[in-house]
A and B are shown apart, each in its own frame.
Chain A
Amino acid sequence: MATQSRTELLAAYRTMATMRAFEERMHIEFAGGGVPGFVHLYAGQEASAAGVCANLTDHDVLLNTHRAHGPAIARGADIFAVAKEIYCRGEGLCRGRGGSAHLHDTKNGLWAANSGVGSGVALGCGAALAARTRGTGGIAVALVGDGAVNQGVVSEGLNLASIWKLPLVVVVENNGYGEATAAGYAIAGGGIARRAEAFDMPGVQVDGSDYFAVFEAAAAAAERARRGKGPSLIEVEVTRFFGHFEGDAQTYRSRDEAERARRERDCLANFRRTVVAEGILDAGELDLVDTDVADLIDRVYAEAEAAPYPPDDELMEFIYADSL
């Protein structure tokens, strides 16, 4: 905890509070029918993206997941453009071509939120290889979920990263379910972090309701990558407060699981309790952040809903960089 200044911690709180408020509002707006497509909400997992992104620089790349809203905000993408993309508007991050599950913002080092779930690890190997080849000093962080780890491409990426000693950090957000199927059922070998050992890289498991634990694990892995020591894997244990997607009846988990997580494993509440108890930040300034964020979210949603869809005559744009 000592590694972050008071200002940085206040910023971390603001980031997490923004992610939370954004998703709580999205839950309501989606139910109201105003959001095209489908959405996967990040609420409950905020400390993961916030703790990881606090360790990244402008040269680094974060490979996003389909549960993309929170990590996009944490990485510093313009929240208005994030919301507009989710609403499929022309001024969205991806000009309305990607939608909720494909938030991508090259200039802010946010890449390729992926519906095929595991590919970020392979793409991340390439980003890491390019960073090393071109000497940018950057690293790549591939964010995937527990549901992705049984895909071959994840094992292939871990293997490549290891044999080539790439500056890559693989962060697996284990929220307990790959869609509806429990991680405990689906994943052999005694857990995700243990798989790192097979690829000769450090693997740690951290409590995703504890921002400080995530920050420290990510700091160590990023430092290792920057020093040319090769890849690492971090398993972040989180609980999602909502279903896999909005509209998910969640029959596969007990009725009180999410409610209990909100009471006992809320990373925002934990963060607030710790920084106030230790006298680093005071409750009043955190309350001010909450008020600010509430106001911001109102403006973000109002602007996104009012924004136009992309022009019809742009359907065929952006397929190729060099014209056919």
Chain B
Amino acid sequence: MAMKTYRQAINEAIVGEMRRDADVILMGEDVAGGAGGSGEDDAWGGPLGVTKGLLSEFGPGRVLDTPISEAGFIGAAIGAAASGLRPVVDLMFNDFVGVCFDQVVNQAAKYRYMFGGQDQIPLTIRTMIGAGLSISSQHSQSLYPVFSYFAGLKVLVPSSPYDAKGLLTSAIRDNDPVIFCEHKLLYDMTEDVPDEGYAIPLGEASLLREGGDVTVVALSRMVHVASDAAAILAREGIETDLLDPRTTTPLDTESILESVEATGRLVIVDESGPRCGMASDIAALVAEEGFGDLRAPIVKVTPPHVPIPAAPNLEALYVPDVNRVLDAVRRVVAY
């Protein structure tokens, strides 16, 4: 056990699984440090800084730099997975799914079902989500609700280094296509992470704080925003159940409903949009299945329905912050 960053935790999960299983291969833009140039290979871990050292250990047969050609290489990864390899493919920013949407949602997601269960697609697509770097709306979205729409995909949204390592390990061992969403503001977050490999089961929410007055469900980086809010609320005498679903497919509906049954109040903090997002989805779940337990209307804390701006002041208005969570919780408690 040692203090490790989210970035190191992800690297360790990939290394561990590549050592464990020769069928695991890595593909993506710059994952081998930029192939074919006049400089050094593997001196750079790609824009995410995550894959450094892998080319040296596993060689170019298993660590493949790709051209900027997402439809081509994600399609190829699906074909390789259908053939029995276990590709871990890097779709650098989740926004870029726009150029390979067909591969992800019509090929990977439907391959098993549409062909009557003849095949499995053990594919992991790693991708960065999240706003906060002033890099505008084609590099900052959180599209996990889009992926969650599609039956056939599994969707993981780790909020910490420990979860990142355990969930990525599970993703690579899983026999279905998994979208692994890494929040770009979490790469430098540190916590104790075991050196050995471990797998966190998919579909198990993590209860980060036990309260009783209100249930706050938060995803990815919003877990930390909600956690800061919960600490302040505790000083006001408001005790929070803080629940991180960790995976949006499968979604641990039971833990959410159980918590709401106890608290009667629900606030969802989600960096995806207000329309057709995870907050809407979870709100609908509780409205349908937990209505009788509610003592106040459900409140969603999400960004507004707008593309993400680059200007820091506008972006700060976009991303949910502690104050918005505090307002929401105080509102449902006072209702």
Contacts and interface: CB of A to CB of B under 8 A. Distances in A.
Contact of A156 (B71, B80, B121): B71
B76 interface: yes
Contacts of B228: none
A121 B71 CA distance: 10
B138 interface: no
Given A106-B115, A318-B116, A157 B76 contact: yes
Given A130-B83, A322-B174, A153 B71 contact: yes
B69 A156 contact: yes
B79 to A, nearest CB: 2
Given A122-B103, A130-B85, A112 B76 contact: no
Contacts of B84: 130, 134
A140 interface: yes
Given A134-B83, A160-B69, A324-B203, A126 B75 contact: yes
A174 interface: no
Contacts of B71: 122, 152-153, 156
B323 interface: no
Interface stretch (A95-103, A181-189, A250-258, A261-269): A95-103
Nearest to B121: A321
A172 B102 CA distance: 20
Interface in A144-179: 152-153, 156-157, 159-160, 163-164
Contacts of B250: 324
Contact of B114 (A102, A105, A122, A160): A102
A320 B64 CA distance: 27
Q: Which of A93, A119, A123 has the most CB of B within 10 A?
A: A123
B47 interface: no
B56 interface: no
B82 A123 contact: yes
A92 B80 CA distance: 25
Interface string B66-78: 1101011111111
A96 B79 contact: no
A125 B72 contact: yes
Contacts, number: 155
B116 A122 contact: no
A14 interface: no
Interface in B66-122: 66-67, 69, 71-85, 87, 99, 102-103, 106-107, 111-122
A130 B79 contact: yes
A117 B158 CA distance: 35
A140 B83 CA distance: 11
A47 interface: no
A111 interface: yes
A9 to B, nearest CB: 32
Contacts of B23: 134
B278 interface: no
Given A160-B69, A321-B176, A102 B107 contact: no
A201 interface: no
Q: Which of B77, B82, B152 has the most CB of A within 10 A?
A: B82
B151 interface: yes
Contacts of B61: 133
A124 interface: yes
A171 to B, nearest CB: 16
Nearest to B72: A156
Given A93-B116, A104-B115, A122-B103, A111 B82 contact: yes
Contacts of B78: 122-123, 126
17 contacts: A93-B116, A97-B113, A102-B115, A104-B116, A106-B119, A122-B72, A123-B82, A124-B79, A129-B85, A131-B83, A153-B71, A159-B69, A160-B72, A160-B73, A318-B113, A319-B151, A321-B121
Report the 10 A-B pairs with minimum CB-CB distance, sorted nearest first. Answer: A126-B79, A122-B75, A156-B72, A130-B83, A95-B116, A318-B117, A321-B120, A94-B116, A123-B79, A126-B80
